[in-house]
Amino acid sequence: MYNGNKLSPVLKGVLVAGFLFLYLPIVSLIVYSFNASKLVTVWGGFSTRWYVSLFHNEQILSAVGLSIRIALASATAAVVLGTVAGFVLARFKRFRGSTLFAGMMTAPMVMPEVITGLSMLLLFISMQQLFGQPSERGFFTIWVGHTTLCMAYVAVVVRSRLIEIDKTLEDAAMDLGARPLKIFFVITLPLISQAIASGFLLSITLSLDDLVTTAFLSGPGSTTLPQVIFSKVRLGLNPEINALATITVLIVGIMVVAANYLMLNAQRNREKAIAAAMRENENAQAGPPSSAVSSASA
Amino acid sequence: MMEAVAAAAPVQTGVQAHNTPYLQISGIFKKFGDNVAVDHVDLDIRQHEIFALLGSSGCGKSTLLRMLAGMERPTSGRIVLDGQDITHLAPYDRPINMMFQSYALFPHMSVEQNIAFGLKQDKLPKGEIESRVAEMLDLVQMRKYAHRKPYQLSGGQQQRVALARSLAKRPKLLLLDEPLGALDKKLRQQTQLELVNTLEKVGVTCIMVTHDQEEAMTMATRIGIMSEGQLLQVGTPGEIYDYPNCRFTAEFIGETNLLTGMVSVDEPDHVEIDVPELEGRIWIDHGITGPKGMQVWTSIRPEDVRLDRKPPATPGVNSARGTVVEIAYLGSYSVYHVRLPSGKVIKSMVPSSRWYEAGEEAPTWDETVYVSWRPDLPVVMTR
Ligand SMILES: Nc1ncnc2c1ncn2[C@@H]1O[C@H](COP(=O)(O)OP(=O)(O)OP(=O)(O)O)[C@@H](O)[C@H]1O
Ligand SMILES: [Mg+2]
């Protein structure tokens, strides 16, 4: 693999130190989640009691449930809206205000979340005063906030993928008799499906750990997981949180590994198929192609 | 290989010799902003014809083709195909299919699915689709590869799949944009004949675009020369080569010597043109349509220019003296570049056997020679 420059010992040391700095806290967090002692910094023997108590903690369980529901709902909405926006950005000729549109699409990514959250809160409050809706802050308002944030990311990912794809594929489909809407679903969508999938996963992670926007948009009965963790940690370190964090790390780890595996597998299959095709081509060239001709014309 | 296909195929030659053209393009004009891409093109295409549009880069060939396919809307003009006005028909409603330069095969579909795509849009019954796909796979000899994905195919194979896909719907008109442009030179020459054979076997009417004049000459029954959005000349390969009607065509198709002059004698049976670059006259043994005193251009092909050591019988008429400045030896013949006293360089293509038969040494650099030509060979052009 490392054919060429070997890392000098100094560089290696720096690398190790860097990784330790990043991952040691996480490792210690995992280790201490199995700590029998209630004190987070003193090892009191191995135990799974914090996991047991975690699964009996109604507050945490409902927060997990809410966070997952919000993440799924906003990732879904973000994928639909973000794909449409990305399509417009990539495929439509320049129209009046297209630069403004592109700028506004990506603004939520760079806008400080405090501003986005606050302005949305103000919007919802004045809407409530004017139309009486939304009657309270909770699932709906958080969902709107997260969707706004996530769709910007989806739009960017989808747009860059669409720009890569040869537009003549769509022309060819139209030439062969497919109408625009059909072309989108049968040709374009399959080709950008990976971008959409990664946009979806990205949206889920963005939504799952968002704290700032959520803080502005959540109401009394709707506390998301990051909010619970944050408020608990403020009251002092708690081994239950360690257990919760460990489970989160585990789930995220599994997701990342699975995604990597799927992608690598697809690539390996592709390479295998290409190799097989090359071999067959060589064989075909070695033998005279006339047999194929005579069988075809017979 | 070619013989096998040709023998098995009942070549449909002019089964219906209609007088009305199959495809009528009249006054087609296209502007992109202020930029004129296609400038009032009129063109009639006969059924079963293989027509090649030839021209340099950016002259509007693709734009014209895309207007026929419906992908681009003409600013003005009319297109009538087989009696139907299709000018404003959407691409998906036209009985026309196109083969793209990049092939545009759908990467997520197999060869078979690619070919079936157009048939599925027509909602044909399943059995019909299957049999037509099989027929197309046989036509382009790709049956073995039916389940491959496009990225598993070589360039030539992809080209054949693209052809099969564009023929599957049995279009009334097939459009080919640089059909062999993505292949390397050697494969291209081999594929030219294969492609023509397939097209003739199917009997489809075609318009192809190319900027390779050899390709156009080999494949097409007629050629249209385009420049800056205008269709300058239409004719068979022979007509275009032997009788170019303008300077652009003369220089674009093959090599030629172009001489600028003024008509000095204009008789019904002969014409004389004063050419300052020759310091003499060109004498042509037939009349032309142009008055005395008119500026004209004369094209003389290098193979029509004779090279001699001895001065010609009529000095100053259809001949000139010069020195050899360059010799390109090309096997069976050589091309001599002869510089005249005026500085003009005349190219002469001389068969290698010429000197051997005359019992002479071939002329070398800096030798004084005479170039001359027969009075029936120069072509006079007024634009
Ligand atoms: N969509 C477009 N918008 C603006 N101008 C265009 C567009 N398409 C083509 N043109 C212009 O129209 C002219 C003709 O282009 P076209 O693609 O038809 O050339 P071509 O003959 O096919 O050239 P090539 O051999 O390089 O493919 C060019 O000047 C080009 O810049
Ligand atoms: Mg082109």
Give the model's confidence band at B15: pLDDT under 50 very low, under 70 low, under 90 confident, else very high: very low
B59 C-alpha to ligand 1 centroid (Å): 7
Q: Looking at the structure, do residues B178 and B48 belong to the same domain, yes or no? A: yes
Query: What's residue A4's pLDDT?
Result: 54
From the CA of B63, give the closest atom in ligand 1. Answer: 18
Q: Which residues of A touch B100 (CB under 8 A)?
A: 168, 171-172
B161 Cβ inside 6 Å of ligand 1: no
The region of weakest confidence among A238-242, B327-331, B336-340 is A238-242
B56 Cβ inside 6 Å of ligand 1: no
The region of weakest confidence among A37-46, A141-150, B237-246, B367-376 is A37-46
**Residue A187 domain boundaries:** 57-280
Contact B5 A297 (CB under 8 A): yes
Identify the residue whose C-alpha is closest to ligand 1 atom 17.
Answer: B62
Q: What is the mean pLDDT of residues B209-235?
A: 88
pLDDT exceeds cutoff 80 at B50: yes
The angle subtended at Cα B229 by Cα B223 and Cα B232, nearest 5°, is 40
Identify the residue whose C-alpha is closest to ligand 1 atom 9.
Answer: B63
- Residue B173 and residue B175: Cα distance in Å, rounded? 7
- Residue B338 and residue B320: Cα distance in Å, rounded? 10
Domain end, chosen from B250, B267, B292, is at: B250
Q: Assess B221–A contact: CB distance below 8 Å, yes or no.
A: no
pLDDT exceeds cutoff 90 at B207: yes
Distance from CA of B124 to the nearest CA of A (A): 12
The region of weakest confidence among A94-98, A150-154, B7-11, B38-42 is B7-11
Neighbours of A1 (CB within 10 A): 3
Identify the residue whose C-alpha is closest to ligand 1 atom 6.
Answer: B32
Q: Around ion ligand 2, which residues have CB less than 5 A away?
A: B 62
Q: Assess A277–B contact: CB distance below 8 Å, yes or no.
A: yes
Chain B, nearest residue to A188 by Cα? B106
Which of A57-61, A247-251, B116-120 has the highest average model confidence (pLDDT)? B116-120
* B243 part of a folded domain: yes
- Work out how many domains chain B is built from and give that number: 2
pLDDT exceeds cutoff 70 at A144: yes
How far out from the chain centre does Cα B122 lie?
34
Q: Looking at the structure, do residues B367 and B298 belong to the same domain, yes or no? A: yes
pLDDT exceeds cutoff 80 at B288: no
Query: What's residue A280's pLDDT?
Result: 62
Contact A175 B69 (CB under 8 A): yes
B61 Cβ inside 6 Å of ligand 1: yes
B interface test, pick of A94, A174, A176, A278 with most B CB neighbours within 10 Å? A176
CB A74 within 8 A of CB A139: no
**Residue B240 domain boundaries:** 23-95+171-250
* B106 part of a folded domain: no
Domain end, chosen from B250, B278, B308, is at: B250
* A73 part of a folded domain: yes
pLDDT exceeds cutoff 70 at A288: no
The residues that bridge with B173 in the sheet, in sequence order, are: B96, B205
- Residue A168 and residue B99: Cα distance in Å, rounded? 11
Q: Positive or negative, the Cα torsion across A74, A79, A84, A88?
A: positive
Give the model's confidence band at B208: pLDDT under 50 very low, under 70 low, under 90 confident, else very high: very high
pLDDT exceeds cutoff 60 at B137: yes
Contact B107 A191 (CB under 8 A): yes
- Residue B94 and residue B80: Cα distance in Å, rounded? 11
Q: Looking at the structure, do residues B362 and B302 belong to the same domain, yes or no? A: yes
From the CA of B60, give the closest atom in ligand 1. Answer: 18
pLDDT exceeds cutoff 60 at A162: yes
Q: Is the reported ipTM for this assembly greater than 0.95?
A: no
* B293 part of a folded domain: yes
* A285 part of a folded domain: no
Give the model's confidence band at B140: pLDDT under 50 very low, under 70 low, under 90 confident, else very high: confident
* A2 part of a folded domain: no
Instruction: Please tell me which residue, B82 or B184, carries the higher pLDDT value.
Output: B82
Query: What's residue A173's pLDDT?
Result: 93
Q: Positive or negative, the Cα torsion across A132, A137, A143, A147?
A: positive
B66 Cβ inside 6 Å of ligand 1: no
Distance from CA of A264 to the nearest CA of B (A): 18
Q: Assess A172–B contact: CB distance below 8 Å, yes or no.
A: yes
Query: What's residue A293's pLDDT?
Result: 36
Q: What is the mean pLDDT of residues B46-57?
A: 89
CB B56 within 8 A of CB B227: yes
Q: Using one digit for the tens of pLDDT, what is the confidence trace for A99-119?
A: 888 888 888 888 888 988 899
Query: What's residue A263's pLDDT?
Result: 65
Query: What's residue A295's pLDDT?
Result: 38
- Residue A218 and residue A207: Cα distance in Å, rounded? 13
Domain end, chosen from B207, B226, B250, is at: B250
* B189 part of a folded domain: yes
Give A175: exposed, middle or buried? Use CB within 10 Å, 0-12, 13-18, 19+: buried
Q: Assess B135–A contact: CB distance below 8 Å, yes or no.
A: no
B166 C-alpha to ligand 1 centroid (Å): 23
Q: Using one digit for the tens of pLDDT, what is the confidence trace for A234-286?
A: 877 777 888 888 888 887 788 778 767 766 776 677 677 667 766 665 555 54
pLDDT exceeds cutoff 80 at A292: no
Q: Assess B134–A contact: CB distance below 8 Å, yes or no.
A: no
* B53 part of a folded domain: yes
* A167 part of a folded domain: yes
User: Which CATH number fits the domain that encloses residue B45?
Assistant: 3.40.50.300
The region of weakest confidence among A48-62, B74-88, B90-104 is A48-62
User: Which residues, 6 or more positions from A147, have their beta carbon under 8 angstroms from its beta carbon?
Assistant: A74, A77, A78, A81
Phi, psi of B362 (to 5 degrees): -70, 140
Q: Using one digit for the tens of pLDDT, what is the confidence trace for B153-170?
A: 888 889 889 999 999 988
Give the model's confidence band at B5: pLDDT under 50 very low, under 70 low, under 90 confident, else very high: very low
Contact B92 A177 (CB under 8 A): yes
A interface test, pick of B1, B62, B71, B152 with most A CB neighbours within 10 Å? B152
Q: Looking at the structure, do residues B286 and B331 belong to the same domain, yes or no? A: yes
* A20 part of a folded domain: no
Query: What's residue A294's pLDDT?
Result: 37
User: Which CATH number fits the domain that encloses residue A190?
Assistant: 1.10.3720.10
Q: Using one digit for the tens of pLDDT, what is the confidence trace for B304-325?
A: 888 888 888 877 788 888 888 8
Q: Looking at the structure, do residues B262 and B223 belong to the same domain, yes or no? A: no
Give the model's confidence band at A92: pLDDT under 50 very low, under 70 low, under 90 confident, else very high: confident
Query: What's residue B11's pLDDT?
Result: 37
User: Which CATH number fits the domain that encloses residue B365?
Assistant: 2.40.50.140
Q: What is the mean pLDDT of residues A191-214?
A: 84
* B237 part of a folded domain: yes
From the CA of B33, give the closest atom in ligand 1. Answer: 4
Q: Looking at the structure, do residues B244 and B307 belong to the same domain, yes or no? A: no
Q: What is the mean pLDDT of residues A57-86?
A: 89
From the CA of B56, give the closest atom in ligand 1. Answer: 25
The region of weakest confidence among A80-84, A113-117, B7-11 is B7-11
- Work out how many domains chain A is built from and give that number: 1
pLDDT exceeds cutoff 70 at B350: yes
Contact B104 A276 (CB under 8 A): no
Query: What's residue A284's pLDDT?
Result: 52
Q: Assess B132–A contact: CB distance below 8 Å, yes or no.
A: no
Burial A41-50 (b: 16+ CB within 10 A, else e): eeeeeeeeeb
* DSSP type of residue B119: H
Both tokens of B239, joined, read 């007509």
Mean pLDDT of chain B: 85
Distances in Å between the alpha carbon of B117 and those of A148, A166, B112, B203?
A: 37, 18, 9, 22
pLDDT exceeds cutoff 90 at A197: no
Query: What's residue B327's pLDDT?
Result: 87
Return the best residue to mutate from B56, B59, B232, B248 for the ligand 1 pocket (most ligand atoms within 8 A of CB): B59
Q: Using one digit for the tens of pLDDT, what is the confidence trace for A20-48?
A: 998 888 888 888 888 888 777 778 888 88
Query: Which of A178, A292, A298 lies at the smallest CB-CB distance from B121?
Result: A178
Q: Looking at the structure, do residues B214 and B296 belong to the same domain, yes or no? A: no
Q: What is the mean pLDDT of residues A189-216?
A: 85
